[in-house]
Amino acid sequence: MMLLKIAWRNIWRSKTRSAVVIFAITSGLVGGLFASAWMNGMANQRVVNTFSIETAHIQLHHPNFADNFDVKKTITSTEDKLEKISKMVGVKAVTSRLKVSAMAATANKNMGVVIVGINPETEKEVFGLYKKVDSTSGDFFVSKKKNAIVISKALAEELKVKIKSKIVLTFQDYNGEITGAAFKVIGMYKTDNNPWDKMHVFVRDVDLRKVVEIPKGQNHEIDVLLNDYEQASVISAAIQKKYPEILSEDWSEIQPYLSFITEYMDIYMGVFMIIILAALGFGIVNTMLMVILERTKELGMLMGIGMNKKRIFLMIMFETILLALVGAFVGEIISMFLINYFGKVGINISSLAEGLESVGYSAISYPMLEAYRYLQITILVILTGIVASIYPAIKALKLNPAEAIRTL
């Protein structure tokens, strides 16, 4: 206990010395935390963006629907299923959709698209696309007009249309006949994923059901949003068990590339954290060695007046631990401030924006870190600091008291 007090006082005796060690630990901590938060933010955003726009957490389809988007491959008794699923534990919201592949044509051009027939109210509870329609680009099914369509700005550019323009959609209906219908553009959206934008157009499910002649109670897709996306595979399995005749998939099955990327990022981060911690460790070793060297006389005196080696070792270790804790404390505060600030403001790498958006990455990323990560990284840094001090501490013990006192 006495040692602890001595150690504490020692620290504050030489402000410069302590400041240096504290800075080393703080910089390591801030560096590690901020880098993690930044990378995490980027990856997380991509993942959450995908949920919000493309996949939700779980999707249900007729098992053969994905083969060729055959209009007849539907889920039946949709209403009943929606009700039952929404009552399941962990489910936040559900919605159903129609999906029809079609040609969208204007006098200028025609493009292959996927028409998504939605129920605007429930759609908004599961998907965030409606937020991507800015106030100058119309609205997302606010007005009750019949045969309204919301397309992406990218598609609008290709087809050379704007709000109130007409687009003719041609497709094969439920009876196998080729039909078409005219839709008026009432809103335009833009996400960060250019190719996805060009493919997807949105209409009211009632309008689509009518022109494609899909019987009531049948839908092509049910989308589920959960409270915690990490529960997706468990809940998806539960839904699959409940309804064996349909196919239930979680987001990692729908977009395997997504989980591939997230895992890849994790490994990357891991390797680099190790390198940063190692660098930190060596930095601390060097600094502490210098510190010991500087205190040769003092340590020699302590040994001379009878302090035994074990206690000297402990004293130095305590000093290091205390310094590490102070450094960690300062580092935490700085990191939290930085991460919070940039978390709100965002870090902008827009010089690369064009390419990033076309692969689904946002140009502005928001650093963020889960609470457990803060703890994890902080503990690692403190441990590194402490382990790094063992060598210098041992070195201190090897000092010859007589020599030490004589040092000039």
Partner 1 sequence: MKTILKIAWRNIWRNKRRTLITIASIMFALFFAIVMRGFQVGSYAKMKENAIKSYSGYIQIQKKGYWNDKNINNIFEFDQQKILDLESDSRVNIIIPRIESFALASSGDVTKGVAVMGISPEKENKMTKIKSYLQQGDFINADDRSVLVAEELAKFLKININDTLVLFSSGYHGATAAGLFHVKGILKLPIPEMNRRTVYLSIAEAQNFFSTGDQFTALAFDMDNLDDVNNVEQELRLSIDQDKYEVMGWEVMNKELLQMIESDNAGGLIMIAILYMVIAFGILGTVLMMTNERIREFSMMISIGMQKKKLIMVVILELIFLTILGVIAGVIISLPLMIYFFYHPIRFTGEMVEAMKDFNFEPIMPMSLDVQIFIYQAIVIMIISLIAMYYPILKILKLNIVKGLKS
Partner 2 sequence: MKINFNVFLILFFALISVGVFAQYDITAEEIIKRADEKMRGKTNTSTMEMQIIRPTWKRSVTMKSWGRGMDYSMTYITAPAKEKGQVFMKRKTEMWNWMPSISRMIKIPASMMSQGWMGSDYSNDDILKESSIVHDYNHKIVGEEKMEGFDTYKIEMIPKEEAAVIWGKIYKWISKDDEYIQVRSEYYDEDDELIKSDFAYDFKTMDGRLIPTRIEIIPADEEGKKTVLYIKNIKFDVDLPESFFSQQKMKKIR
Q: What residue ranges bind partner 2 (CB under 8 A)?
A: 102-103, 105-108, 110, 112, 147, 160-161, 165-166, 168-172, 177-182
Q: CB under 5 to 8 A by kind: which of partner 2, partner 1, none does 160 bind?
A: partner 2
The DSSP bridge pattern shows strands 200-204 and 148-152 to be antiparallel
- Nearest in space to 317 (alpha carbons), one of 85, 6, 108, 52: 6
Residue 291 touching partner 1 (CB under 8 A): yes
Longest dimension (CA), the chain: 102
Task: Enumerate helices (H) and strands (E) in the chain, giving the number of each.
Answer: 16, 11
DSSP characters over 120-161:
HHHHHHH--GGGGS-TTSB-SS-S--TTEEEEEHHHHHHHT-
Residue 154 touching partner 1 (CB under 8 A): no
DSSP-derived secondary structure letter, 177: -
Residues constituting the chain: 408
Residue 272 touching partner 1 (CB under 8 A): yes
> 30-49: which residues touch partner 1 (CB under 8 A)?
31-32, 34-35, 38-39, 42
The site that binds partner 1 (CB under 8 A) totals a number of residues, namely 50
Q: CB under 5 to 8 A by kind: which of partner 1, partner 2, none does 334 bind?
A: none
148 or 356, CB closer to partner 2? 148
CB of 23 to partner 1, least distance (A): 5
How far apart are alpha carbons 281 and 387 in whole angstroms?
8
How far apart are alpha carbons 162 and 188 in whole angstroms?
8
CA 351 to chain centre: 21
Residue 328 touching partner 1 (CB under 8 A): no
Q: Which helix (H) or strand (E) holds 223?
A: strand 221-226
81 or 153, CB closer to partner 1? 153
How far apart are alpha carbons 150 and 102 in whole angstroms?
15
Q: Which helix (H) or strand (E) holds 20?
A: helix 15-50
DSSP characters over 196-218:
HHHHEEEEEHHHHHHHHTPPTT-
Residue 290 touching partner 1 (CB under 8 A): yes
CB of 110 to partner 1, least distance (A): 14
32 or 300, CB closer to partner 1? 32
Binding test (CB under 8 A) with partner 1, winner from 1, 2, 15, 68 = 68
> 347-366: which residues touch partner 1 (CB under 8 A)?
349, 352, 354-356, 358-359, 361
CA 238 to chain centre: 26
Residue bearing tokens 């936040």: 92
Q: CB under 5 to 8 A by kind: which of partner 2, partner 1, none does 181 bind?
A: partner 2
> 229-248: which residues touch partner 1 (CB under 8 A)?
none
46 or 209, CB closer to partner 2? 209
Interface with partner 1 by CB under 8 A: which residues? 16-17, 20-21, 23-24, 27-28, 31-32, 34-35, 38-39, 42, 66-68, 256, 260, 263-264, 267-268, 271-272, 275-276, 278-280, 282-284, 286-287, 289-291, 293-294, 349, 352, 354-356, 358-359, 361, 408
